Structure 1
Amino acid sequence: MKKMMKTLMLGSLILSPILANADMGTKNMMVRMRAINVMPQEKGTPSVVGGEVKLNNESVPELDISYFFNENFALELILATATHEAMAYKTSLNNLDLGDVSILPPTLLAQYHHQFGKLKPYVGAGINYTIFYGEDSGVAKKVTYEDAFGYAFQVGADYEIQDNVFLNFDVKKLFLSTDVNVETYSNGSVSAKVDVDPYIVGLGVGLRF
């Protein structure tokens, strides 16, 4: 919870100077709510015991806030969190349940929007800082994931269904790695560097004001 509050505060600090200078008459703000599916494309091998680490897919809501400098250029801040089950397969100790971990990857993207009447496709690129929290260690004594910076790419489109109300389709690719450490009850430890690298596919609605 503390990490989530820190993230919300960070997002507020990033957006506050933009909001303070916003001319609301130009409708340069946009808020979207999406249903997203987070699909990790993880790669990682635990040291000592070998095998591979896998995280399950998860569907969750997502909130994003965008500021439009003009009709073509915008900044978007994305907030969402998902809980994933972690497993290590084909290790020398058979399959290992590594429990659950929640991931909070606030992402800031610079976007270019094109205008085709009511259809407004866009592309984006930016950075994220991924916070891992709420670890449930499964069969291990303790599992820890290291918070990390990463980067992101995005493609999507808004379709105006009525004045300033949009349907939105969005696909993001995040590139992020974390160091995972597993402590066993026999006082041993297993470490792994895991590339999570999720695709995030979302569908939702947006309001511009």
Structure 2
Amino acid sequence: MMKLQSLVLAAATALTMTTAFAVPAGTWSVAAGAHYVDPKSDNGSLANGALDVDVDGDVRPTISGEYFIANNVGVELLAAIPFHHDITLTDTNGNKIDAKTQHLPPTLSVQYHFDYDNMPMNIKPFVGVGVNYTTFFKERIATGSDLKLDDSVGVAGHVGLDIPFVPTEAFRIDARYMDIKTDASLNGIDIGEVDISPWVYGVAFVKQF
């Protein structure tokens, strides 16, 4: 009987500690920082293999808002100012054509924040999954032709760590994978698909309300 009472007491204590460290339902958080979009190394080829595509990376300020629909479960929307990407097209003879684009990648995710009160510095890991919508604009190509990149919709994954300063403020380190593929056209003629699918690395200051 004493062992059973001890187990019940230990379980009750653990639940109390978990609740104390949980992010309660109804909480809002805002994260302001910066992210680096790092496209995958092989971005595909266009015009039936005549042009290899290379898309470079870019870093821009970002902001996200998250609302907790249940304890430790939040819905987050990520936004940013436009990212700028230089694009290099290389033909079969090694000649290069420069192009560029801008894009906005708003991403909506459902996230779970873990309670680990015994973690160093009370670090709180989290994971998320959602959908990314990327819209491209201001496409340009050195030849003066009309380059167009279609909007993209794809899955997105999210992992990160919140390192708290105080109970309602934290420093965040995170990484996202975004499935971004866009159909390209030149002077109205489809020339193939550009596969950007980047990892996105970021840091931010997080405030809960």
Confirm or deny a common fold (TM above 0.5).
yes
Query: SS in structure 1 opposite 2:174?
Result: strand
User: Which residue is equivalent to 1:13?
Assistant: none
User: Which residue is equivalent to 2:27?
Assistant: 28
TM-score by length of 1: 0.79
C-alpha distance after superposition, 1:43-79 (max 9, x if no partner): 2111146231111110111110000123321111001
Q: Where do 1:98-177 residues align within 5 Å? A: 99-117=99-117, 118-177=122-181
C-alpha distance after superposition, 1:21-50 (max 9, x if no partner): xxxx97600000121111011521111462
User: Which residue is equivalent to 1:205?
Assistant: 205
Query: SS in structure 2 opposite 1:69?
Result: strand
Query: Alpha-carbon deviation of 1:142?
Result: 1.2
Distance 1:139 1:91 in 2: 17
Distance 2:161 2:94 in 1: 46
Query: Alpha-carbon deviation of 1:84?
Result: 0.3
User: Which residue is equivalent to 1:180?
Assistant: 184
C-alpha distance after superposition, 1:119-144 (max 9, x if no partner): 11000000011100121222241110
Query: Alpha-carbon deviation of 1:159?
Result: 1.3
User: Which residue is equivalent to 1:89?
Assistant: 90
Matched residues, percent identical? 28
Contact 1:46 1:191 in 2 (8 A): yes
Moved over 3 A (4+): 90-93
Corresponding residue pairs, total: 180
The alignment yields a C-alpha RMSD, in angstroms, of: 2.0
TM-score by length of 2: 0.79
Structure 2 vs 1, CA of residues 138 and 43 (structure 1 numbering), >3 Å: closer, same or farther?
same
User: Which residue is equivalent to 2:5?
Assistant: none
Unaligned 5+ runs, structure 2: 1-23
